[in-house]
């Protein structure tokens, strides 16, 4: 009985030691990722590990004080312009002008619709967003809404809408549009290499998209900054993957 008890104790000690080693390795990995800026907290603005920090906004943020955001370290803003083939964000024009006046580099984004032709969606965006020198490339926001949350659209059908939309935007703004995606929409519609030449802005709360060749990372959907009054009190936070010099040269439009 004593020998069996000793064996059980030794086995338990080995398990405890293995668990401690694994916990230590996990803590070390998390610490390293945090130190390198690959883990960012939801309420963490202007993270020191990244040179270029930004936000993305829509009418939900209401009246935005862009100077106040700039004072908090915001370098750029993606601003919602359009949705589908007919909807336009009522705050877009004001945000577009006022953000640039505050010294931010801006880009306009289009919320993709699975329900209307790509050419019609492109026409809606082009009518709303002027060609402006120095701004970021146009963005196509590819995510899910309504019934598509549970039943995503077919891959081929989606690409048949997306491709003419991208072509029209590239012809108009003379730069490749940025594709915004979640992990799910990326895997369903963008994976496989067909869109490898397009810049990628990917949503990945808290932990950076380590397995994607991304250009912009949306790391928070629920931060709070000073400087806006709208229907929601939260704002999305983003970083650019590169130096300030690389950011200034990235995807120049209107040239």
Sort strands 76-83 and 105-111 into parallel, antiparallel or unpaired: parallel
Q: Are 82 and 54 in contact (CB under 8 A)?
A: no
What is the per-residue pLDDT across 82-114, written as a single tens digit (0 to 9) for each?
A: 999 999 999 999 999 999 999 999 999 999 999
Per-residue pLDDT of the chain (255 residues; tens, 9 = 90+): 667 767 767 777 677 666 766 767 666 655 666 767 889 999 999 999 999 999 999 999 999 999 999 999 999 999 999 999 999 999 999 999 999 999 999 999 999 999 999 999 999 999 999 999 999 999 999 999 999 999 999 999 999 999 999 999 999 999 999 999 999 999 999 999 999 999 999 999 999 997 788 999 999 999 999 999 998 999 999 999 999 999 999 997 544
Q: Which residue shows structure tokens 């496989």?
A: 192
pTM, 2 dp: 0.89
Q: What is the pLDDT of residue 33?
A: 67
Question: What three-state secondary structure class fits 101?
Answer: helix
Q: What is the pLDDT of residue 252?
A: 77
Q: What is the pLDDT of residue 20?
A: 67
Q: Are 109 and 170 in contact (CB under 8 A)?
A: no
Question: What three-state secondary structure class fits 141?
Answer: strand
| Alpha-carbon span 139 to 127, nearest angstrom | 15
Q: Give 114's DSSP letter.
A: S
- Give the closest residue to 253 by CA, choosing from 189, 177, 202, 194: 177
Q: What is the pLDDT of residue 103?
A: 98
Q: What is the pLDDT of residue 19?
A: 73
Paired residues of 234 in beta bridges: none
Q: What is the pLDDT of residue 227?
A: 96
What is the per-residue pLDDT across 47-89, written as a single tens digit (0 to 9) for each?
A: 999 999 999 999 999 999 999 999 999 999 999 999 999 999 9
């Amino acid at each position: 009985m004593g020998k069996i008890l000793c064996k059980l104790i030794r086995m338990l000690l080995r398990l405890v030691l293995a668990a401690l080693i694994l916990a230590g390795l996990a803590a070390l990995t998390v610490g390293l990722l945090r130190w390198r800026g690959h883990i960012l907290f939801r309420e963490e603005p202007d993270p020191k590990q990244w040179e270029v920090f930004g936000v993305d906004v829509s009418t939900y943020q209401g009246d935005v004080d862009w100077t106040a955001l700039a004072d908090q370290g915001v370098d750029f803003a993606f601003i919602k312009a359009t949705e589908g083939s007919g909807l336009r964000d009522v705050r877009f024009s004001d945000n577009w002008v006022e953000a640039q006046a505050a010294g931010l580099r801006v880009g306009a984004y289009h919320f993709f619709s699975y329900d209307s032709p790509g050419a019609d969606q492109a026409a809606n965006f082009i009518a709303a967003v002027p060609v402006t020198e120095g701004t970021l490339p146009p963005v196509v926001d590819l995510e899910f809404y309504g019934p598509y949350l549970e039943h995503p659209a077919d891959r081929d059908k989606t690409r048949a809408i997306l491709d003419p939309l991208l072509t029209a935007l590239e012809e108009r703004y003379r730069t490749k549009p940025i594709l915004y995606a979640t992990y799910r929409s990326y895997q369903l519609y963008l994976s496989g290499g067909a869109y490898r030449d397009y810049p990628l802005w990917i949503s990945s709360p808290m932990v950076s998209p380590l397995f994607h060749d991304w250009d912009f990372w949306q790391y928070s959907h629920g931060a709070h900054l000073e400087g806006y009054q709208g229907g929601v009190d939260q704002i999305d936070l983003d970083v650019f993957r590169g130096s300030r010099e690389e950011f200034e040269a990235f995807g120049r439009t209107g040239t």
